[in-house]
Chain A
């Protein structure tokens, strides 16, 4: 694999696809879909090739030598900027056990959501161009090891999302789009200020021997590169470091979305078209938790240790609040959206434990939530396409009407509930085992376990309301799944079942990195 820029191709092939899509004449509008499908297929293949060539023993995280498929090119270099020395920014991509599962996840989800986008009627050119731009930006965020690059990709994600919700969404789409935009922008601003603060706090020695401020995430993790008087330097005791951590955390929390920054999510989901809901829940929510693991934790290990209880608390609030809110919903899609909030709470709780088990559980939960929630949103989309309503109380007895569909629904629901043998169970169990083992968050973990009960409650109740009982007269004509829908659901179901029985496929990829990250947080600045 030496010399083959696999990560660059993963990131930028959607941009090439986007340009092709934009250049295609109006008469060839149908080819737009095939271009997108080709791009996402290539990405999926590349991601699988990457995993096959992945060295399971290389840790990454803070050590540049054990990152894999590294690509590093000087992007910006300006010598002698007025008294600041050299200004430099690298184009720096790399993969380790923290990002590899998520890269795989996003290629899978984008591939499957392409099929779900097949029925988009309203200006497909614009839709697929935005879809591909979103795809590129997401990949970029997962692969960047330079803060500046990370931030650019992070913000680029905003616009395609805004347009995808705003143009192709439902009746209240504008409100949802602007809410999403403002919330994310607010978070982005906090990230920006932390990024600049960190930039002025640490230096790296360049090839020519001069010192330069740096956006390099790995250098920022190395405590020896900090200046004594840098504003966010650990050597400079002040409150700004604490504030910066909070600011950065808010930026990521908006994306997770963590209570109390979650209110954009139900609105955005209800209004977004099905494939966008799938991508939003399947991939984009993980960016928040990934950002915390990749940036907040290793750069501020001291403050992370200090605040772990609060992170856990917010995780538990997410779990319980999301589940309770899900229970109260009358709209099928809103229910799934709130269940997403609840499930992301598990990720937060696992991360708060600062143990290997908890971290493994958290990353695995990100992957599983991605696949399971993607299924759930596809399931809602399928019924909405047929019935044009999502009212939970308007249905009943669909099991008789659509038996194959209900089969998939049952698998997805039980995976979401955490039935042993399906993937959701493994990650939730790891999260709770990890968190329970830590004295300080044991109590809140026990409260969090209520979430399992509540989760089973709303999921099974939904199953009963929509799929069991007798079919109302007006739904007698509903047809069962067609080929396209099967193509989307079958691979996801296989992943959910296989990973439930053989979780080590995924856990092995991340374990080395997770252990090294846990060690790093525990020992650095102690």
Chain B
């Protein structure tokens, strides 16, 4: 055993170790203190801040961990700016979701079990952080499963409503089926190439003659597993039901963090396995065994179109945002479909914008729903006049989701479409843009309900404490700020778009 190498590897996965340590701390604290569980979220927050700090320190490193010296490249885990970026995204999301959980009435109602709740969240975080840096099929599968198992439990955690258990059950059934399919695909790919390391698969694909049909078969099976997590059409059927049934903080979490992890994994899987080299213009020259571009474009267009068109009819706010998040997954996949460095950094920027605006929108809806579990679109009637402090930020988030300047959502969309146009995929961009027009309809419908419609029952302003107001306004402020001064953020993302 090479201990120097082991030492380096361990230091490279320090963020993951930190998360694992805090997971155990949460469990232990939960066991020790039966009565006072108020501290658990704060312990979680400290853990996330420390981990975030470690990630930032290690931001510039490009290395791999647990490499076998005899192999020519890569080990189990890649450490590069790309993975650090997504780790930061995941940690940021988790921090906001912890605040979410602290003020959500649903989670307060299960105060006694909050130790398990936060431990499971840490389980998800660990799974996601491994997903964004895994370069080995075994680790990919294990980390996806770690994420999935934690989130299955969390989706049905509160048990307060029938919908809750339904959500959990649906999620398990769909989830385990698709991860089984993915595992099958992984085993076929292993059978074809004789290795589980992505870089070795890459060189095997370039050097040896491989049955293209079997290969495509295995790739599509693997894609099913990731498409499920991304809620890409046609693997999206679970999304609205789970989003509607799960407790709101978990819905928000699933819609952002687990998508981030799945997206990062997909990007890395394609980049490490199928790219022969990156040309001078930053476009990826693919190994000609599988037509990723067509697959991704088709999936992305179907995803955004179906998401947007179905969102038009939704009456439940969570379902509406669920379909909107499906549509956004479509835009994200579109950025990847360009298969270029510019496309990847556009996806990463888009994700950051999506994080702020989607979490913000869910946060406001959670605050509204704390009032008697109101989640219907008619429950926000007249909100613009009864509680402007909620309605104004929600309007900003919706405008940003619709991609109207001057918001971060617009900058992200512009950057994304610019990358796609630069790759000469103009027809695709036109379809995507027409999609955004459709999306404007349902986002503006929410504005209409807030400002134009009159509430049926007597209007009582929704009480919001200072902490929640502050978080909502910070998120809204960031959405507008980055919509006007996007210099540094684009530069940061651009520097982070480097894969091992």
Residues of A within 8 A of B (CB): 76-78, 80-84, 87, 123, 151-152, 155-156, 158-159, 162-163, 166-167, 173-174, 177-178, 181-182, 185-186, 189-190, 192-193, 196-197, 199-200, 231, 240
Contact A231 B281 (CB under 8 A): no
* CA of A163 to CA of B388, assembled, Å: 14
Is B181 an interface residue, CB under 8 A from the partner? no
Known pairs A76-B486, A81-B490, A189-B433; A155 contacts B404 (CB<8 A): yes
Question: What are 24 A-B contacts defined by CB distance under 8 Å?
Answer: A76-B485, A76-B487, A76-B490, A81-B494, A82-B494, A83-B280, A83-B282, A84-B342, A151-B405, A152-B410, A155-B404, A155-B410, A159-B399, A163-B447, A181-B440, A182-B440, A182-B441, A182-B444, A185-B436, A189-B434, A190-B433, A193-B429, A193-B433, A200-B422
Interface of B is mostly: helix
User: Across the interface, which residues of B come within 8 angstroms of A152, CB to CB?
Assistant: 405-406, 410
Distance to closest chain A CB from B400 (angstroms):
12
* CA of A495 to CA of B418, assembled, Å: 46
Taken residue by residue from 398 to 412, chain B's Cβ proximity to chain A (1 for < 8 Å, 0 otherwise) reads as 010000111000100
Contact A84 B422 (CB under 8 A): yes
Distance to closest chain B CB from A49 (angstroms):
28
User: Across the interface, which residues of A come within 8 angstroms of B444, CB to CB?
Assistant: 162, 178, 181-182
Contact A166 B451 (CB under 8 A): yes
Distance to closest chain B CB from A249 (angstroms):
16
User: Across the interface, which residues of A come within 8 angstroms of B36, CB to CB?
Assistant: none
* CA of A430 to CA of B382, assembled, Å: 51
User: Across the interface, which residues of A come within 8 angstroms of B433, CB to CB?
Assistant: 189-190, 192-193
Contact B406 A82 (CB under 8 A): no
Contact B448 A178 (CB under 8 A): yes
Taken residue by residue from 272 to 284, chain B's Cβ proximity to chain A (1 for < 8 Å, 0 otherwise) reads as 0000000011100
Known pairs A181-B440, A189-B437, A199-B418; A82 contacts B451 (CB<8 A): no
Contact A167 B436 (CB under 8 A): no
* CA of A152 to CA of B405, assembled, Å: 6
Is B61 an interface residue, CB under 8 A from the partner? no
User: Across the interface, which residues of A come within 8 angstroms of B426, CB to CB?
Assistant: 193, 197, 231, 240
Known pairs A174-B448, A231-B424; A156 contacts B497 (CB<8 A): no
* CA of A163 to CA of B441, assembled, Å: 14
Instruction: Pick the contact of B406: A84, A156, A162 (CB < 8 A).
Output: A156
User: Across the interface, which residues of B come within 8 angstroms of A178, CB to CB?
Assistant: 441, 444-445, 448
Instruction: Pick the contact of B490: A87, A123, A190, A192 (CB < 8 A).
Output: A87
Is B17 an interface residue, CB under 8 A from the partner? no
* CA of A192 to CA of B444, assembled, Å: 20
Q: Which residue of A has the minimal Cβ distance to B483?
A: A152
Distance to closest chain A CB from B491 (angstroms):
5
User: Across the interface, which residues of A come within 8 angstroms of B414, CB to CB?
Assistant: 192, 196
Known pairs A200-B421, A231-B424; A166 contacts B452 (CB<8 A): yes
Distance to closest chain B CB from A126 (angstroms):
8
- Chain B: interface residue total (CB-CB under 8 A): 42
Instruction: Pick the contact of B282: A82, A123, A185, A192 (CB < 8 A).
Output: A82
Contact A82 B421 (CB under 8 A): no
Is B430 an interface residue, CB under 8 A from the partner? yes
* CA of A155 to CA of B402, assembled, Å: 12
Interface centre among B406, B422, B430 (most CB of A within 10 A): B422
User: Across the interface, which residues of B come within 8 angstroms of A158, CB to CB?
Assistant: 404
* CA of A181 to CA of B341, assembled, Å: 35
User: Across the interface, which residues of A come within 8 angstroms of B447, CB to CB?
Assistant: 162-163, 166
* CA of A173 to CA of B452, assembled, Å: 9
Contact B418 A167 (CB under 8 A): no
Is B385 an interface residue, CB under 8 A from the partner? yes
* CA of A192 to CA of B404, assembled, Å: 11
Contact A193 B486 (CB under 8 A): no
* CA of A182 to CA of B440, assembled, Å: 7
Known pairs A82-B282, A182-B440, A185-B437; A231 contacts B497 (CB<8 A): no
Is B417 an interface residue, CB under 8 A from the partner? yes
* CA of A193 to CA of B414, assembled, Å: 9
- 9 pairs of A and B residues whose beta carbons are closest in the complex: A83-B282, A189-B433, A152-B405, A82-B341, A82-B282, A185-B440, A166-B452, A155-B405, A76-B487
Interface centre among A82, A177, A178, A193 (most CB of B within 10 A): A82
Is B345 an interface residue, CB under 8 A from the partner? yes
Taken residue by residue from 49 to 72, chain B's Cβ proximity to chain A (1 for < 8 Å, 0 otherwise) reads as 000000000000000000000000
Distance to closest chain A CB from B301 (angstroms):
16
Distance to closest chain A CB from B12 (angstroms):
26
Known pairs A84-B422, A159-B399; A177 contacts B448 (CB<8 A): yes
Interface centre among B282, B410, B448 (most CB of A within 10 A): B448
User: Across the interface, which residues of B come within 8 angstroms of A185, CB to CB?
Assistant: 404, 436-437, 440
* CA of A138 to CA of B212, assembled, Å: 58
Distance to closest chain A CB from B125 (angstroms):
30
Instruction: Pick the contact of B497: A82, A123, A166, A186 (CB < 8 A).
Output: A82
User: Across the interface, which residues of B come within 8 angstroms of A181, CB to CB?
Assistant: 440, 444
User: Across the interface, which residues of A come within 8 angstroms of B399, CB to CB?
Assistant: 159
Q: Which residue of A has the minimal Cβ distance to B495?
A: A80
* CA of A206 to CA of B401, assembled, Å: 34
Distance to closest chain A CB from B406 (angstroms):
6
User: Across the interface, which residues of A come within 8 angstroms of B485, CB to CB?
Assistant: 76
Besides A81-B494, A83-B282, A197-B426, 17 new A-B residue pairs in contact (Cβ under 8 A), listed by A number? A78-B487, A80-B494, A81-B490, A82-B342, A151-B405, A152-B405, A158-B404, A159-B399, A162-B447, A166-B447, A174-B448, A178-B441, A181-B444, A185-B436, A186-B434, A193-B429, A196-B421
Contact B441 A159 (CB under 8 A): no
Contact B440 A83 (CB under 8 A): no
Known pairs A166-B448, A173-B452, A178-B441; A156 contacts B421 (CB<8 A): no
Contact B418 A83 (CB under 8 A): no
Known pairs A78-B491, A189-B433; A159 contacts B404 (CB<8 A): yes
